[in-house]
Amino acid sequence: MSEEIDPVVLYGRTLSLEVRPRTVLVEGTSDVELFKQAAQLEYVETNTELLGNDIVIVAAGECENGGVNGLIRELIRFKGYARTCLLPDGRPRYRFIGLFDNDHAGRMAVKLIQQIDISIVEYKDVFRLRPVMPLPGILDPGTMQKTFERENDRYKGLDWEIEDFIQNDFYEVFLSEKPSAVVRTKEVGGKVHRDLTQDGKAQLHRFIKLNATRSDLIEIIRLLKAIRFYLLLK
């Protein structure tokens, strides 16, 4: 099948999105930029390419077109188109997964998307960000679920978003300059989740872009490696 008639590529172009053999959909553009910065810092330090020709991370949409609703919409659409795109040996040419925050909206979205499309399975097609993103020896959804629950048992009741992977010392430096950026803080099992204001989140991402080092984003680098592992990439 040539790229010119590939429905996955064509649909991606209508959204101005680039797709790869493995495509990860996230809730917003700031998530994408944070992943890209972490991957670039890892490449500079170790010459390891975490985002390349085999995988891309894209936002489901911008502003009101993104978020959990946009992620649900586009994941279902892309997976539908992908069913028609097969390699010569019959295997799927593309694989799409969705990565949700583990907050109330994200938890409800994971339940909803599985009701809308019963072929979508958590721990295979959709994942929620957790303090520990484990590397199970077996990748079937049942084993994955048990491992996720066991490794995160100490953090029950703690919401989790990509910004929570940033090293705490770096976060505290930011808050020393912008204390009003955080509405509330919750700590469980030694891990901290912070609820940011909308402007505070934008300020944090600007601060990260200007100041973050590889060590500040090391947990996001590990998250990228975990995602590659779930997608059977090196």
Give tens-digit pLDDT for 181-226. 999 999 999 999 999 999 999 999 999 999 999 999 999 999 999 9
- Residue 178 vs residues 172, 175, 182, 192: alpha-carbon distances, Å: 9, 5, 8, 17
pLDDT, the chain, mean: 94
* Tally of residues, the chain: 234
Q: Which helix (H) or strand (E) holds 157?
A: none
Average pLDDT over residues 5-17: 91
For residues 212 and 41, is the Cβ–Cβ distance under 8 A?
yes
Total-model pTM: 0.94
Q: What is the pLDDT of residue 1?
A: 44
The predicted-structure confidence for 150-176, as pLDDT tens digits, reads as follows 999 999 999 999 999 999 999 999 999
pLDDT tops 80 at residue 14? yes
The predicted-structure confidence for 135-145, as pLDDT tens digits, reads as follows 998 999 999 99
Rounded Cα–Cα distance for residues 15 and 38 (Å): 25
Rounded Cα–Cα distance for residues 95 and 4 (Å): 19
The predicted-structure confidence for 106-129, as pLDDT tens digits, reads as follows 999 999 999 999 999 999 999 999
Q: What is the pLDDT of residue 15?
A: 92
Number of independent structural domains in the chain: 1
Q: What is the pLDDT of residue 4?
A: 58
Q: What is the pLDDT of residue 65?
A: 66
pLDDT tops 60 at residue 95? yes
Average pLDDT over residues 32-40: 98
pLDDT tops 60 at residue 90? yes
Residue numbers of the domain that contains 42: 3-230
Q: What is the pLDDT of residue 2?
A: 44
- DSSP code, position 86: B
Termini Cα distance of the chain: 26
